[in-house]
Amino acid sequence: MMKASIEANIRHPRELRDVRRKYSPYLAKYYGNDQLLVDASITEAVWNAWVHGHHEQTDYPVLLKIHFLHSRLLVRVYDHGDGFDWRPYQVTSDVKHWFPSVEDLEESGRGITLMLRVMDILRYNEKGNECLLMKKYLNQE
């Protein structure tokens, strides 16, 4: 059962403001105090796609699809870039218990660390130009 679905073509991350108005009420409802972390993960995925996939160009849009399903949030972010090798960043679930220092967060890949910590699932397609984020709602088992 689908509760809501939001799609956007984003040519510059500042356009996220308008999209955020649409999905923020759902984040507040399903994630409470965690809504800012979930929002930061979505924002990070879009920024990564724009910066690394599109090299900060506005020629092509980053495609953002947000689905509020029956028991979880599903986010897909697709860019038109060449992709990247995501395999070095596929750390185990241990990362959920790892608390980074500020120095660690300055390194490349800090956004991936954030997404891994906040979301239940972070996956990339083979090419590395599509990101899938998934998170159960707080009240779901």
Q: Which two tokens stand for residue 85?
A: 């090798």
Measure the CA dihedral 61/70/90/16, to 10°.
Answer: 30
Q: Are 137 and 30 in contact (CB under 8 A)?
A: yes
Rounded to 5°, the CA angle 79-82-83 comes to 70
How much is the pLDDT for 139?
77
Chain segment 44-72, per-residue pLDDT in tens: 999 999 999 999 999 999 999 999 999 99
How much is the pLDDT for 25?
96
Chain segment 100-129, per-residue pLDDT in tens: 555 555 556 678 888 988 999 999 999 999
How much is the pLDDT for 9?
98
Q: Average pLDDT of 23-27?
A: 96
The CATH H-level (homologous superfamily) assignment of domain 4-136 is Histidine kinase-like ATPase, C-terminal domain (3.30.565.10)
How much is the pLDDT for 52?
92
For the chain, give the mean pLDDT: 87
Q: What are residue 136's DSSP bridge partners?
A: 72
How much is the pLDDT for 95?
55
pLDDT at residue 141 above 60?
no
How much is the pLDDT for 3?
85
Task: Give percent of the chain above pLDDT 90.
Answer: 72
What is the value of pTM for the model shown?
Answer: 0.87
Distance CA 78, CA 73 (A): 17
Q: Average pLDDT of 61-86?
A: 95
